[in-house]
Amino acid sequence: MIDDQRWWVMYFPSKKSVIFGGLIWGGLTIGLIVAISELDWVTILIFSIILIFWGWVWFSTGYKIEEDFLVIKSGPLKAKIPIKEITKIYKTRSPVSSVALSLDRLAIVFGKNYDEVIISPVDEDKFIDELRKINSKIIVAK
């Protein structure tokens, strides 16, 4: 029997806004089509690289609870936050740049300097419940 240790990993994918995704995917695709129609090889290469990068971000953005850490991953970016340092979670629709693919977001406040990261897990309630199982002192403001 395992004594109350979290030996598994829980994964929470990011919500994906159809409008947000459509604007980015659509704009990049149209740009690539125009570049192909004009046989502009430099622009084709640039749009292809951006599309590949955006695909990496779009399909890899998610949040894991690994033991006592919240691991946030989006494309090449990765952050690891000790769950015991999380002090507050609140809903936000802030459009600031973040590791969230939707405007339906959660802000997580952590650390001694009250750092903040904005994320958008699909199942917010389960995500918060799992964090609070590890740190019951997390304040959840709705």
What pLDDT shows up at residue 57? Answer: 94
Res. 124: pLDDT tops 90: yes
Res. 137: pLDDT tops 80: yes
CA distances from 107 to 33, 82, 92, 102 (A): 37, 15, 6, 13
What does the pLDDT look like over 43-75, one tens digit per residue?
A: 999 999 999 999 999 999 999 999 899 999 999
What pLDDT shows up at residue 11? Answer: 94
